[in-house]
Amino acid sequence: MKNTEKSFLRQLFSIESINPVRSLRSRLHFLAIFGIIIALLFAYATILPGMKSSLLDIVEDNSVNLAKSYVKIIDAHIESVNETVLSLKDNSDIYACLVMGGESALVTADLKKFLKENSSFLAVAIYDKEGHFITATEDGYDNSDSPYYVNAVLATEQPAQSDYMTYGDTPSAVLAIPLEKSGSIFGVVAITVPLTSLTSELNEITLAESSFAYLLSPNGYFLYHPETDYYGKIIGNEGIRNFLEQGNILSAVLKFNYEGKKVAGIATSQKNNWMLVIQSDEADLTSSIENVTSKSVISLSIVSIILLTIVYILVFVFLRPLSFLIVEINRIKNLDFSPSTTLTKLCKARTEIGVISRAIENMHQSIKDVVNDISDVTQHITNGSTMLNEVSTSLNDCASDNSAVSEELSAGMEQTSDMANNIQYEVSLIQEKTDSIAKRSEGTIKLSKDIMGRANDARTFTSHASDTTIELYKEVSSEAKVALEQSKAVEKITALTDTIMNISDQTSLLALNASIEAARSGEYGKGFAVVAKEISNLAEQSSATVNSIIVIVQEVTAAVNNIDHCLTKTLQFMESSVMHDYQNFMKVSNEYNMDAQSFKETLDAICENLDELGKATNGIADSINGINATISDSSEGITGVAERATEVVTLSQKTYDQVNTNSEMIEKLQLIMERFTL
């Protein structure tokens, strides 16, 4: 419906077309037809009217020229009459009568004889040089003196003609001719002639069917008309009368309306100012022009048909290669780039078709090169995608393993943190017990001082000292047992250090595994390798710290053993010597004093060992705090490693997905490549 609503021109110049060559051929044909129609219209609107106007001008000029020709014929008739009459100037009778006053009868006889010899003349009359009537061939001839045509001859010494006259019933005119001899006029001959003898050829005018001629005197009287009723009547056409009144119009064309449009060719005789008018109907004159125009249109139509035929042949010849080019273009549209012999032949042409064909051939080669390049690139992309797929799979596996290892490390660090907290708790208990032993050691030192003071008074206060010694023995024995029991807490430290050492070994093993996995991950495992190295350093620090704790614990154990040995020795001494040999106390008071001094020194050593034990315990506590902080930091680092490992897994999955997408795109690209025919 839309196509039917389009105008013809829009359909013809529409870009949408099934066959471009047919469309172009139709357009060229239309342009040729349109150009020829425009040329015809232009010819009809400009050239034909101009030609018509030119032809009309020619017809009008022909009218004028024809009128001038017939005026010359009339003048020739008049000149012939004049030459005929000039023979009378040599007549002696006429000369004698007019010059010497001879007899007019002789002149009359000669005139009648002359009239018989020239039967076309109606009458002849003679006037003297004064214009007086002398004689005539007819008795009824007007014998008036000095008629106007005679006076005209005498005034101008040139022949003259009268206006319209009638001789009987015959329209006629008088031709007055001067008689000269020796260069002077001696008389005038007046010849009356019928107008038909002067205008007989006017009946033969055939310019057109409506054309006719009429002759006018200077006063506007009809001297000739196809219809005799007009003879002697005055012309009524004002335009022609104006020409007559001007008197100097030799030739002209007059157009006027009288029962239709008329065209008149006018010519005036220079000898007597008689005016010949050839009048025609304009339609009659232009009918022949219309015929010429029609013939011209027919000729143009025939020429147009010939031109259309030539244009059709030329369009067919020139556009036929375009059909082959369209076939080649359709092959391109169908992605067929196989060699074509037709295109090879067209490339040899030296016209624009050859240029276009060579351009299409170059386009063929360029597209084939591009397709080959795409094929190579596709192959490289396929290889790279395969390699990337393998790498992504390995990376995904490594990232999964790293994530699992990170989770194990995180769990192990949490367990290590819990153990470190337990060690810290046990160390705090050791610090409390050490403080208690230190306080009790101070009391023992004070007691040893008292013993030394009382040793001097031992003799006096033996009983009292015995009781005091027994009590002291009991107290020291009880406190020594408690101190020895408390010193056994050092063994717990040893157990905890063994546990920490095991954890450090496991951490070192995990760090080693993490380093191995990071090395397997390549570029993606560099960050994880750094963390694994830090974990390994942390394990080494933990191991070193545990070794320090073991050394300190060994020193504490040695000190406790010394205390145990001293207390045991003191108790044995008190039990064996003091209690059983108290009676001999006085004897051995000096020895007792020395033993008290030794006891004091031993207590001082115990205090020093306890101070060292307190310091070592504080060092253990600080180390445990450092281990705990390090483990916390390591736990956070391992948690970050686990998160980054998870992120690596996610990125690996995205990389894997992108590789799959690239593979799909490569498959599509290969399908596109398979559509090309090279």
User: Which residues are CB-neighbours of 319 under 8 A, at least 6 positions away?
Assistant: 21, 24, 25, 28
**With 90 as the cut, is the pLDDT of residue 255 above it?**
no
- Would you place residue 585 in the very low, low, confident or very high pLDDT band (cuts 50, 70, 90)? low
Spatial separation of the C-alpha atoms in residues 646 and 641, rounded to whole Å: 8
The answer, as to whether pTM is greater than 0.75, is no
Can you give the pLDDT at residue 352?
74
Percent of the chain residues topping a pLDDT of 70: 62
DSSP label at residue 225: -
Angstrom distance (rounded) from CA 498 to CA 549: 10
Q: What average pLDDT score do residues 347-354 get?
A: 76
Does an H or E element contain 593, and which?
helix 589-675
Tokens standing for residue 157: 């010494």
Give the residue among 384, 376, 375, 371 at the shortest CA–CA distance from 662.
Answer: 384
pLDDT category at 124 given cuts 50, 70, 90 is: very high
Return the higher-pLDDT residue of 627 and 519.
519
Give the 3-state secondary structure percentages of the chain, helix then strand then coil, rounded to 5. 75, 10, 15
Q: What is the DSSP letter of 87?
A: G
Stretch among 37-46, 66-75, 241-250 having the lowest mean pLDDT:
37-46
Contacts of 121 (CB under 8 A, 6+ apart): 81, 115, 191, 192, 193
For 484-506, what is each residue's pLDDT tens digit? 666 666 666 677 677 777 777 77
Q: How far is CA 596 from CA 461, 575, 586, 600, in A?
A: 17, 15, 14, 6
- pLDDT for res 163: 87
Q: How far apart are CA 148 and CA 569, in angstroms?
A: 209
Structure tokens at 655: 């990389």
Q: How far is CA 179 from the centre of its chain?
A: 103
Residue 436's alpha-carbon distances to 313, 431, 474, 482, 513, in angstroms, are 131, 9, 19, 11, 47
pLDDT of 100 over the 50 cut: yes
Q: Which residue has the higher pLDDT, 446 or 59?
A: 59
The Cα–Cα gap between 492 and 425 comes to 11
How far apart CA 165 and CA 147 sit, in angstroms, is 13
Q: Rounded distance, CA 35 to CA 39, Å?
A: 6
Whether 455 has a pLDDT exceeding 60, the answer reads no
CB 261 within 8 A of CB 282: yes
* Predicted local confidence at residue 178, as pLDDT: 92
> Model confidence at 608, in pLDDT bands (50, 70, 90)?
confident
Mean pLDDT of 201-212: 81
Q: What is the mean pLDDT of residues 138-146?
A: 86
Q: For residue 369, give the amino acid letter.
A: D
Q: Cα–Cα distances in Å, from 432 out to 427, 486, 536, 580, 603?
A: 9, 10, 34, 37, 19
Residue 424 backbone phi and psi in degrees, to 5? -60, -35
Q: Is the pLDDT of residue 560 over 60?
A: yes
Considering only residues 237 and 526, tell me which one the structure prediction assigns the higher pLDDT. 237
* Distance between CA atoms of residues 192 and 162, nearest Å: 9
Closest CA to 377 of 666, 82, 147, 142: 666
